[in-house]
């Protein structure tokens, strides 16, 4: 009997998007999975549509929009599988995608979380912005991925088709072992959306578990359906959540050493956005810092929780991070791809 997999889809509006995702899942070759849709108080009759058209799907009806993090956490409560897939509603999938992820989990007992290769829905020979073929992070908590640096997305020429350890697996489609997910106390709902999966993978590694990318499994993602790429809220969440991790996931000395450098780069981002008249980005960065200033207590609470989880120190953690600054390499050194960063002669 195949291992039961619980596929949890956080959802907020967009019946047409969700319908295509479910139709794709129904063509999946794997034989033993359940679908749980967690509705974050949609206003477009999504719940009634699900109950009428897909009565076998389990539906969690939230009283408000808890975001990706909160939606996924509430889906766990009714899940029955040992393996959990958190899946964006704007994805479609190769028929063998799930079978390949399960097989990978079976053959890698150290693996706590794994992602497939994530390609763009509209340009299917191009890596998607949200995940590529395995996520990484520099020591200042700026994320990037094989196949995507900032807004630079590479074509998929099978250059990243090897199974590999990575720092984070994309929340677009991430398979986790349920018991490990619960051990690190689920997603942090303070994140709401964006980078909560990076924080999760950081915590899993602090417990000594491994994160992988398995490009033998392939899905396609529309990207930014719920929250447009250039929205003020998206800019705010990306900057804020990255800073939350820097302030709470490291030990105190490391935080005090790195934060002034990160803060200087944030000031540069504000000035750069102003020169480009990109006011959404500028105010997004400012809002992120204002939020941090008025929520210092959340940082302290997180630090206590994460210190309880910690089994390895910062020195060990930073071995799996990029030691330089991805911002410096991208904007100043003009390194535009993952391979430029790690394999060019000047690196």
Environment class of residue 235 by beta-carbon count within 10 Å: exposed (0-12), middle (13-18) or buried (19+)? buried
Sequence length of the chain is 347
**According to the model, what pLDDT value does residue 306 have?**
97
Q: Which domains does the chain have, with CATH numbers?
A: 5-221 (3.90.550.10), 232-343 (no CATH)
In angstroms, rounded to a whole number, what is the distance separating the alpha carbons of residues 208 and 317?
10
The tokens describing 95, both together, are: 């028929």
How many alpha carbons fall within 13 Å on the CB side of residue 228?
5
**According to the model, what pLDDT value does residue 288 have?**
96
What SS3 class is residue 87?
Answer: strand
Note the pLDDT tens digit of each residue in 8-57.
999 999 999 999 999 999 999 998 999 999 999 999 999 999 999 999 99
81 near 10, Cβ under 8 Å?
no
Per the listing, tokens 């430029």 go with: 340
Characterize 193-230 residue by residue with b for buried, 16 or more Cβ atoms within 10 angstroms of its Cβ, and e for exposed: bbbbbbbbbbbbbbeebbbbbbbbbbbbbbbebbeeee
Which residue, 184, 238, 191, is CA-closest to 211?
184
**According to the model, what pLDDT value does residue 343 have?**
77
**According to the model, what pLDDT value does residue 332 have?**
87
Per the listing, tokens 């206003």 go with: 43
Give, in degrees to the nearest 5, the angle at Cα 167 between 164 and 173.
Answer: 80
pTM for this predicted structure? 0.95
Give, in degrees to the nearest 5, the angle at Cα 310 between 305 and 314.
Answer: 115
User: What are the residue ranges in the chain where pLDDT is below 70?
Assistant: 1, 224-229, 344-347
């Amino acid at each position: 009997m195949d291992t039961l997999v619980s596929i949890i889809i956080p959802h907020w509006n967009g019946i047409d998007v969700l319908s295509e995702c479910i139709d794709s899942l129904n063509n999946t070759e794997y034989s033993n999975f359940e679908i749980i849709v967690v509705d974050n108080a949609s206003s477009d009759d999504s719940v009634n549509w699900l109950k009428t058209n897909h009565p076998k799907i389990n539906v969690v009806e939230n009283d408000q929009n808890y975001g990706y993090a909160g939606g996924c956490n509430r889906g766990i409560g009714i899940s029955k599988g040992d393996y959990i897939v958190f899946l964006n509603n704007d994805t479609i999938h190769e028929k063998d995608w799930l079978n390949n992820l399960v097989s990978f989990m079976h053959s890698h007992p150290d693996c706590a979380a794994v992602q497939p290769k994530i390609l763009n829905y509209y340009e299917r020979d191009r890596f998607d912005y949200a995940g590529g073929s395995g996520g990484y992070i520099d020591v200042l908590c700026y994320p990037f991925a094989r196949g995507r640096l900032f807004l630079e997305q590479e074509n998929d020429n099978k250059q990243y088709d090897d199974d590999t350890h990575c720092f984070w697996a994309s929340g677009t489609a991430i398979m986790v072992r349920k018991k490990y997910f619960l051990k690190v106390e689920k997603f942090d709902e303070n994140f709401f959306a964006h980078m909560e999966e990076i924080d999760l993978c950081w915590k899993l590694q602090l417990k000594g578990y491994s994160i992988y990318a398995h490009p033998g499994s392939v899905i396609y993602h529309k990207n930014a359906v719920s929250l447009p790429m250039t929205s003020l809220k998206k800019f705010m969440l990306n900057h804020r959540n990255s800073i939350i991790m820097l302030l709470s996931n490291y030990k105190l000395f490391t935080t005090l050493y790195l934060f002034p450098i990160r803060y200087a780069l944030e000031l540069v981002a504000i000035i750069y956005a102003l020169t480009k008249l990109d006011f959404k980005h500028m105010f997004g960065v400012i809002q992120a810092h204002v939020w941090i200033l008025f929520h210092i207590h959340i940082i302290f609470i997180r630090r206590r929780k994460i210190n309880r989880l910690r089994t390895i120190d910062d020195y060990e953690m930073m071995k799996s991070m990029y030691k330089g600054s991805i911002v410096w390499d991208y904007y100043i050194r003009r390194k535009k791809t993952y391979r430029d960063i790690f394999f060019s002669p000047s690196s």
